[in-house]
Amino acid sequence: TQLLEQSPQFLSIQEGENLTVYCNSSSVFSSLQWYRQEPGEGPVLLVTVVTGGEVKKLKRLTFQFGDARKDSSLHITAAQPGDTGLYLCAGTDSNYQLIWGAGTKLIIKP
């Protein structure tokens, strides 16, 4: 069974701090996606990474795909209360199935 493990499961920090969320697996993925989900809504796609070592930036968010395409990280610089939400990673496996992590619940306190 392929698994995507996210860490930490829960993170509560002050506004202005930096943070990193990790998504790890023993399996190789052809692509990996990051989503943010706010209460009462569905997940919203933030980014897709497809190349090993790829780095993508979305304003204060930096996404990196591991060289071996087995892991990924999301770094947020100067976190703001609007960044609060559940962050989910999902990888496309060799059978074109999307494997989901359990999510990191992030709270940014003003």
Partner 1 sequence: DAGVIQSPRHEVTEMGQEVTLRCKPISGHDYLFWYRQTMMRGLELLIYFNNNVPIDDSGMPEDRFSAKMPNASFSTLKIQPSEPRDSAVYFCASSLDSDYGYTFGSGTRLTVV
Residues that bind partner 1 (CB under 8 A): 30-31, 33, 40-45, 48, 50, 88, 92, 96-98, 100-103
- Minimum CB separation of residue 80 from partner 1 in Å reads 23
The nearer residue to partner 1, 78 or 107, going by C-beta atoms, is 107
Nearest to 62 by CA among 75, 72, 77: 75
Q: Are 91 and 32 in contact (CB under 8 A)?
A: yes
94, amino acid identity = S
**Smallest gap from residue 41 Cβ to partner 1 (A):** 5
Whose structure tokens read 């304003």?
59
The one-letter amino acid code at 49 reads V
Nearer to partner 1, 31 or 62 (CB): 31
Residue among 13 and 50 whose Cβ is closer to partner 1: 50
Phi-psi region of 101 (alpha: psi -120 to 50; beta: other; left: phi over 0): beta
In whole angstroms, the minimum distance from the beta carbon of 102 to partner 1 comes to 5
